[in-house]
Chains A and B, each alone.
Chain A
């Protein structure tokens, strides 16, 4: 069985069992390998990979405590420690469905199911090496991020009728998509999808259509994908993304919940689910998903304070609206989450401040005025002590807290500082939008304008219920926007002045006025505000049964 092709290769064997490591190492020697390193866990493996560019990695999925094989693969891919020309083989004795599905998501070059013989190992290695040799020029170009050259080499192989032509076609289309040559990518996907609907073609087509904003077509394509193959997880992710683009958060939640029920182990998907649940005020689901995000990212490249902070924020926001009977339990959960953050990230002063601010809001939410005051004083003292440039996340947290405890002056001060320093950062700008009357991000400005237009159209057509729905959705995104609030109020009033004696509408109308009551007399919308308020005040509050 001795072949020279293994002599020059650098192998890394990763397994937590010494016995397995040794016997695999021996097998590789039997195949003619000479350079074989081993690692007992994910962190050791990472260190080895930082020093040596291995050609072939044989990694067990189960690596005991710490990272598992898939988290290792993910980290090696994202940090580019694993080259495209290298071969990652996932070794597994797993028969658990969840494990199998979750490893599929990061696509190792090959799988090897335990137990395997020397012959089977050689067969898999031979096949993987043969493939990588044939695709060498493409993979090398990918190592250098030279997509144009990779595409040229794909074309060359396809012209020569390579065994790997269909891989080349898929790779070419995906690279064209990355390069935003969307029409070219689309025509490849469309043709492949017509011929035999392989997953990659439907997924690629759906993504391309979504990027070109053909949302209904994109949704149809992706729905076909997940109907053909219910475990095509990326399909659900994109369906959710498109629903979010169309501001249909309920459908987005449904798609993500489905994907998570099939494969619960991806922290990124759990986080996406948590965010949309929060937006939908589905608090219990949001908290569960944030909790899972924290747990699942612990040993992965996605580990960091933000997941834990999100969980604490969500819990605290829930406290503010929860029923009396749940408040105490949620308060304890929040405090527990906050104290965990403080312990886990104690060296990070920004995180410490953010968690203290979240705690401040918690006390404010349970109307513990004494503690609220104490906490905010502590934070302010921390702020004064160091004049270090504050992270935008901390400033956002500060602005949220001042807004929540109704210290308008200080809130405005912080928001002004944020806007001045960070309005150019789209992610931060989006967060600022939720705290101010007029969005600072272009996306936010466009959205408000669009929603207003659609809402007004419906209002003019006397379709008040639809108009109310449109304005309400927009207000979920930009709760302080004056024009939106007044428009909603007007739509609600037109219902209330009719015969609709609706408590919910009355309450919501009241809320709109509360959001804009600080409007200055010089504001262009001031006249409208006064007029609408008069109508509202003239109405009797619907009687409570």
Chain B
């Protein structure tokens, strides 16, 4: 390859993603405009609309995650930690997925003190929680629960569902799947890998954040847990 052909891939990626996000934005807006205030005519139409919203937001999440992962690899992902309300963070992820929750008849609950605040990178953690919520929605029977509390002076957020739980292999080594990408569980593993890296970036007094998977709990399904020091 000659120097003339050398391009800054990060720049290309960033500007393509910028462009794609704009298109996506236009797509969703025109969809809303087409429907205006009209209610969908029947169940099929309502479902179709839900799928469109769901897929669009998945593409959007994937794009953000893609750029995030690329920057992680290049050590270019700066952390913007600030104090945020944890409840607001969780609630917003539920709001984002409202259409999907309603169309699948899934109940989402939040268990977190309204005034509980913590220091973290809002966009990064929002991306992680949103991913895990979408994942839970996909595998749950009819319930998901987001909870957050302070444990041992660390913030612990859990995303639980009442589905069949995570497979044994994943429980042992949540980030291990990245060693060979499996296209069947690809998006989950990628999501977990990203979550693990995002958690690790948060550190305080020698502690790094981490993620953890388990099955059971109150809802008897899968539980994703992220700890932020």
**Which A residues are closer than 8 A to B by beta carbons?**
19-20, 23, 26-27, 30, 93-97, 100-101, 104, 113-115, 117-120, 122-124, 127, 161, 163, 166, 196, 198-199, 229-231, 262
Nearest A-chain residue to B97, judged by Cβ = A119
Whether the Cβ atoms of A231 and B25 lie closer than 8 Å is: no
**Given A20-B29, A95-B67, A231-B80, A119 and B95 touching (CB < 8 A)?**
yes
24 contacts between A and B (CB under 8 A): A23-B33, A30-B37, A93-B18, A95-B14, A95-B17, A95-B18, A95-B21, A97-B76, A114-B22, A114-B25, A115-B25, A115-B28, A117-B53, A117-B96, A120-B92, A120-B96, A123-B91, A123-B92, A161-B115, A196-B119, A198-B83, A198-B119, A229-B81, A231-B80
Decide yes or no whether B123 CB sits under 8 A from chain A.
yes
Residues on A with beta carbons closer than 8 Å to the beta carbon of B99: 117, 119
Residue from the list B53, B64, B88, B96 in contact with A95, Cβ < 8 A: B64
Decide yes or no whether B156 CB sits under 8 A from chain A.
no
Whether the Cβ atoms of A101 and B95 lie closer than 8 Å is: no
Whether the Cβ atoms of B76 and A23 lie closer than 8 Å is: no
From residue B84, how far is it (CB to closest CB) to chain A in Å?
11
Going nearest first, the 7 A-B pairs with the smallest beta carbon separation are A115-B25, A23-B29, A163-B115, A114-B25, A119-B95, A123-B95, A93-B21
- Name B91-119 residues within 8 Å CB distance of A: 91-92, 95-96, 98-99, 114-115, 117, 119
From residue B102, how far is it (CB to closest CB) to chain A in Å?
11
Residue from the list B60, B88, B119 in contact with A127, Cβ < 8 A: B88
Q: How far is the CA of A123 from the CA of B33 in the complex (A)?
A: 20
Q: How far is the CA of A113 from the CA of B123 in the complex (A)?
A: 10
Residues on A with beta carbons closer than 8 Å to the beta carbon of B83: 166, 198
Residue from the list A95, A117, A161, A166 in contact with B117, Cβ < 8 A: A166
Nearest B-chain residue to A164, judged by Cβ = B115
- Name B104-152 residues within 8 Å CB distance of A: 114-115, 117, 119, 123
Whether the Cβ atoms of B114 and A163 lie closer than 8 Å is: yes
Contact with A along B61-97 (1 / 0, CB 8 A): 0001001000100001011111101001001100110
Residue from the list A30, A96, A124, A231 in contact with B14, Cβ < 8 A: A96
Residues on B with beta carbons closer than 8 Å to the beta carbon of A196: 119, 204
Interface size of B by CB at 8 A reads 42
Q: How far is the CA of A123 from the CA of B28 in the complex (A)?
A: 18
Whether the Cβ atoms of B21 and A115 lie closer than 8 Å is: yes
From residue A193, how far is it (CB to closest CB) to chain B in Å?
13
Decide yes or no whether B182 CB sits under 8 A from chain A.
no
- Name B2-46 residues within 8 Å CB distance of A: 14, 17-18, 21-22, 24-30, 32-33, 37
Whether the Cβ atoms of B76 and A93 lie closer than 8 Å is: no
Whether the Cβ atoms of A119 and B98 lie closer than 8 Å is: yes
Residues on A with beta carbons closer than 8 Å to the beta carbon of B92: 120, 123-124
From residue A274, how far is it (CB to closest CB) to chain B in Å?
25
Q: How far is the CA of A94 from the CA of B99 in the complex (A)?
A: 25
Q: A97-B71, A262-B78 are in contact. List 7 more A-B contacts (CB 8 A).
A: A20-B25, A23-B33, A27-B32, A95-B17, A97-B14, A97-B78, A229-B79
Nearest B-chain residue to A262, judged by Cβ = B78
Q: How far is the CA of A117 from the CA of B93 in the complex (A)?
A: 12
CB-based A-B contact count at 8 angstroms: 83
Q: How far is the CA of A262 from the CA of B37 in the complex (A)?
A: 45
Decide yes or no whether B56 CB sits under 8 A from chain A.
yes
Residues on B with beta carbons closer than 8 Å to the beta carbon of A115: 21, 24-25, 27-29, 56, 60
Whether the Cβ atoms of A120 and B95 lie closer than 8 Å is: yes
Q: How far is the CA of A57 from the CA of B96 in the complex (A)?
A: 22
Residues on B with beta carbons closer than 8 Å to the beta carbon of A93: 18, 21-22, 25
Residues on A with beta carbons closer than 8 Å to the beta carbon of B17: 95
**Given A95-B21, A123-B91, A19 and B29 touching (CB < 8 A)?**
yes
Residues on A with beta carbons closer than 8 Å to the beta carbon of B76: 97
**Given A30-B37, A115-B24, A104 and B80 touching (CB < 8 A)?**
yes
Q: How far is the CA of A163 from the CA of B117 in the complex (A)?
A: 9
Whether the Cβ atoms of B96 and A118 lie closer than 8 Å is: no
Nearest A-chain residue to B24, judged by Cβ = A115
Q: How far is the CA of A196 from the CA of B205 in the complex (A)?
A: 9
Residues on A with beta carbons closer than 8 Å to the beta carbon of B56: 115
Q: How far is the CA of A434 from the CA of B92 in the complex (A)?
A: 58
From residue A89, how far is it (CB to closest CB) to chain B in Å?
14
From residue B40, how far is it (CB to closest CB) to chain A in Å?
15
Residues on B with beta carbons closer than 8 Å to the beta carbon of A127: 88
Whether the Cβ atoms of A119 and B96 lie closer than 8 Å is: yes
Q: How far is the CA of A168 from the CA of B85 in the complex (A)?
A: 15
From residue A146, how far is it (CB to closest CB) to chain B in Å?
26
Nearest A-chain residue to B92, judged by Cβ = A123
Q: How far is the CA of A23 from the CA of B25 in the complex (A)?
A: 11
Residue from the list A26, A101, A124, A198 in contact with B78, Cβ < 8 A: A101
**Given A19-B29, A120-B92, A198-B119, A114 and B37 touching (CB < 8 A)?**
no
Whether the Cβ atoms of B18 and A19 lie closer than 8 Å is: no
Residue from the list B21, B82, B123 in contact with A114, Cβ < 8 A: B21
Whether the Cβ atoms of B14 and A163 lie closer than 8 Å is: no
Q: How far is the CA of A117 from the CA of B78 in the complex (A)?
A: 27
Q: How far is the CA of A163 from the CA of B84 in the complex (A)?
A: 11
Q: How far is the CA of A27 from the CA of B117 in the complex (A)?
A: 30
Q: How far is the CA of A114 from the CA of B76 in the complex (A)?
A: 22
Nearest A-chain residue to B114, judged by Cβ = A163
Interface centre among A30, A100, A119 (most CB of B within 10 A): A119
Nearest A-chain residue to B17, judged by Cβ = A95
Nearest B-chain residue to A167, judged by Cβ = B83
Nearest A-chain residue to B16, judged by Cβ = A95
Nearest A-chain residue to B153, judged by Cβ = A196
Q: How far is the CA of A124 from the CA of B81 in the complex (A)?
A: 19
Q: How far is the CA of A113 from the CA of B127 in the complex (A)?
A: 12
Q: How far is the CA of A101 from the CA of B119 in the complex (A)?
A: 18
Q: How far is the CA of A120 from the CA of B32 in the complex (A)?
A: 14
Whether the Cβ atoms of B119 and A19 lie closer than 8 Å is: no
Residue from the list A19, A94, A95, A118 in contact with B26, Cβ < 8 A: A19
